[in-house]
Amino acid sequence: MVWSKLGKLVYSVSHEQLAEIAGSNIMIPCKEVFERSPHQTIVVGELLNEEGLKAFDGYSFV
């Protein structure tokens, strides 16, 4: 997404929340990746967070 120069990213589940679900498999938050990019993408987070978390109900990543 960084290389495509995405103008805006909207996500539901935060890095911290996903790390709790998936364990240590999630290494770096997307917001940090975009902050380090030369192209500045607008990042809007945790939109419809409760609904997003429901998508992971019953998933076991570890």
Per the structure block, which two tokens stand in for 62? 């570890």
Provide the whole-model pTM.
0.66
Four-point Cα dihedral 40, 48, 29, 44, nearest 10: 10
The pLDDT confidence band at residue 22, using thresholds 50, 70 and 90, is confident
35-49 confidence digits (pLDDT tens): 888 888 888 989 999
Share of the chain above pLDDT 90, in %: 18
Q: Calculate the CA 29 to chain-centre distance.
A: 6
